Structure 1
Amino acid sequence: MKLSTRGQYATRALLDLALHQNDEPVLLRDISKRQQISLQYLEHLITPLITAGIMTSTRGRKGGVSLARPPEKIRLDEVINLLEGSVAPVKCISNPDLCQRSNLCATRDVWGEVKQAIDGVLRSITLRDLVERQKSKEETTEAMYYI
């Protein structure tokens, strides 16, 4: 399974938002610049995130986007499934009727295990976990710079 830019960029945008959101909404153009994602593409990505209740959007002079829930309540599987659909590496995992051999196919079992592993990893990581990982990487980079 290969993630498209939809899943990758949405995850990066949410991480950026979690890192920079204080008590005020964050401008999409600021996320766009920091993450080097086209503003138009970013605008396209946030619509399903808003609809799903992951983000909120505020219009006006002090407008922007905010997380609709705390970072520890937003799991990666929710984001990826929303923007990518199934993470199954082959179509017959999600829809066994596509192949007459589904019941007899040993390779399908392997692909099912791959999907379960991916689902498990994505389900176990929250946006809060990503924030902590990012801060750790930044601290390590700063420490390396001064050595």
Structure 2
Amino acid sequence: MLVSTKGRYALRFLLDLAQHKDAGVISLQAVAERQNVSKKYLERIVSLLSPSGILKITRGYQGGYQLARDPELITVAEILMLTEGGFSPVPIDEARECPASAFAWESLEGAITRCLENITLQDILDHSDPVIEYYI
């Protein structure tokens, strides 16, 4: 499975919010500068994440973003499912072409999913230097 820029930047964005959760509402511009990511690109990522309930959005002059849940309740699987749409290692149509190998692809997808469901934002923060920037 190849994780796209969308998935990697979404994870970096949410890790940044988790790392700075005590700062309150955080502007998209602040995250963009810390993570060296385009603010426009982060806006597109926010539009993917918003319906999920992961983000708390405050509109207006002093507006910005916060995590709506604790970092230990947000998994990498949830984030990548929203941005990548799934964890299939091969295109679905291709997997169905050979029923004999479909079992192997489905097993691999299941293993990837189970692994990512067991990694939370807090797990990543706990295994990282708190002052590093997240270049995933």
TM-score band w.r.t. shorter chain: 0.7 to 0.9
RMSD of equivalent CA atoms? 2.0
Calculate the TM-score normalised by the size of structure 1.
0.81
Relative to structure 1, is the Cα distance of residues 18 and 115 closer, same or farther in structure 2, using a 3 angstrom cutoff? Answer: same
Calculate the TM-score normalised by the size of structure 2.
0.87
| Cα displacement string for residues 94-143 of structure 1 (whole angstroms, at most 9, x for unaligned residues) | x96x42x32xx2x32222222122111110011111111223785xxxxx
- The gaps in structure 1 that reach 5 residues or longer are 139-147
User: Residue in 2 aligned with 1:86?
Assistant: 86
Q: Percent identity?
A: 36
Q: Which amino acid aligns with 1:21?
A: K
Segments ≥4 residues shifted beyond 6 Å:
none
Relative to structure 1, is the Cα distance of residues 77 and 23 closer, same or farther in structure 2, using a 3 angstrom cutoff? Answer: same
> How many residues in Structure 1 have an aligned counterpart in Structure 2?
132
Contact preservation (8 Å) 1:28, 1:65: yes
Contact preservation (8 Å) 1:92, 1:108: no
Q: Distance in 1 between matches of 2:45 and 2:57?
A: 13
Q: Distance in 2 between matches of 1:76 and 1:11?
A: 7
Q: Give the drift of 1:3.
A: 0.7
1:115 and 2:109 matched: yes
The higher-RCO structure (CA 8 Å, 6+ apart) is: 2
Contact preservation (8 Å) 2:28, 2:39: yes
Q: Distance in 2 between matches of 1:27 and 1:44?
A: 15
Q: Which amino acid aligns with 1:49?
A: L
| Secondary structure of residue in 2 paired with 1:66 | strand
Q: Distance in 1 between matches of 2:10 and 2:60?
A: 23
1:58 and 2:52 matched: no
Mapping of 1:1-147 within 5 angstroms? 1-92=1-92, 98-99=96-97, 101-102=98-99, 105=100, 107-135=101-129
